[in-house]
Structure 1
Amino acid sequence: NVGPCLHGGHCKITVETRRCCTSCRLVECLAMGMSPELIQKEVLVKHMFDLLALSADICRDNRLDRVLVDALVEQAKETLSINENDFVPLWGKIINATVNKNNDLQKY
């Protein structure tokens, strides 16, 4: 899917100009010994970025869930005046529910 060079195939490829002419960049890479099989297809690159974005969303959600749960536990302790040991079983259930939710998301 690389179009022809608009400058007759004589573009100088540097770190700064490498995105200016994909045709000349490809020719230079192949001349330097790059294997054509290493060229990433646009669909695969887009899929990779989508997965990275989803992973970032899950990490952000995990942090938010943890902050929310911590705040709720502290509020409950103050309100109910319950011993911290009473919260251990509840805390385990909350963590398991959060992990299961995230595992279900990762299936997609």
Structure 2
Amino acid sequence: MEDTLSKLLAAEDKAQKIIDAALKERDSIVNQATEEARRAEQQFADRVPEIHQSFIDKAQERARHSIAEMERRFSERQDELQRMAQENHDAALDAALAIMLGEKPD
């Protein structure tokens, strides 16, 4: 019986050592995962200004493109209005000349 008790105590001691080793390994894995997560968060935090600048650069590029497009359309419209004004100016001069000459304007 003493031999059986001795074997049980030895088995219990061995089981406790296995449990202790498993707990130690678990703690090591948790610590490693925590450290990896901390590093990933730090890398992301370090990249935030770069990401922010990238968005700003893209927004500025879109704004420049929009401004260029608006300036192009404005220039086309201004040219069209100047052409129309010139046409109306010529017609107005013709009508005024006709009135001055006593003719019926067109």
TM-score by length of 2: 0.38
Q: Which has the larger radius of gyration?
A: 2
TM-score by length of 1: 0.38
| Structure richer in helix, relative to its length | 2
Q: Which structure has more RCO (C-alpha within 8 Å, separation ≥ 6)?
A: 1
